[in-house]
Structure formats: structure tokens, C-alpha cells
Amino acid sequence: MVPCGALGGAVQEATNSQFTGENPVLATSRGVVLGYLFDSLLSAVPAIKSLFIPNKGMGKLIPVKAKDPDADALAQRIGGEPSMKFQYDRDGREFDAVSS
């Protein structure tokens, strides 16, 4: 199966060759190569982003200043940390206990 970018690149370059007078076979081949490179880059973007923005940019887990004995008991039972939230969570959601 040919990736969309390769097919689109081939069609675009072949169409452009009509106006530039370039050999359409060479233009189409270049379009396929460029399309494959473009598809490869697009498929790599999420992996690259995840290297720099772990957990979708929500930041580190930080403790919340809450007095919740049930959260403390749960955290102790599972061996985790009580009353935590993500640093940059826009909704400010809090978790009773988080284990690693």
C-alpha cells in the first residue's frame, strides 16, 4: 500500500511538471520520495513530542494540601502518595492516591 503522502507528492509533482517542462517521470519519482519522507516525518512527530512533553504537558505530580484521612489510608495501603495533582492540569483534578 502506498502512503497518502507519496501518492499526493507524485500527483503534485507530475502536475507541476506540465508547467515547468520538466520530465514528468522524474518529477513523479521526486514526488514519491518527498511524499514518503513527509509521511515518515508525520508518523515520527508524536514520538518526538513525547520526548519533550511527557504526560501531554500536564507537568509533574505535586502534593495537594488537603486533610483527607481516607486518602492517606488508601495511599498507605497501596504504597503510594496521598492527595496529588498534576502541576499544569487546567481542571485542577486531584487524586486521592497515586502509586508508581
Q: Is the pLDDT of residue 76 over 90?
A: yes
Closest CA to 24 of 36, 12, 34: 12
Confidence at 15, pLDDT banded by 50, 70, 90: low
Q: Is the pLDDT of residue 38 over 90?
A: no
SS3 for the chain is: CCCHHHHHHHHHHHHHHHHHCCCHHHHHHHHHHHHHHHHHHHHHHHHHHHHHCHHHHCCCEEECCCCCHHHHHHHHHHCCEEEEEECCCCCCCEEEEECC
Q: Where do the domains of the chain lie? A: 4-52, 55-98
Its pTM stands at 0.45
- What number of CA atoms fall less than 13 Å from residue 85's CA on the CB side? 11
Mean pLDDT, range 14-41, rounded to an integer = 63
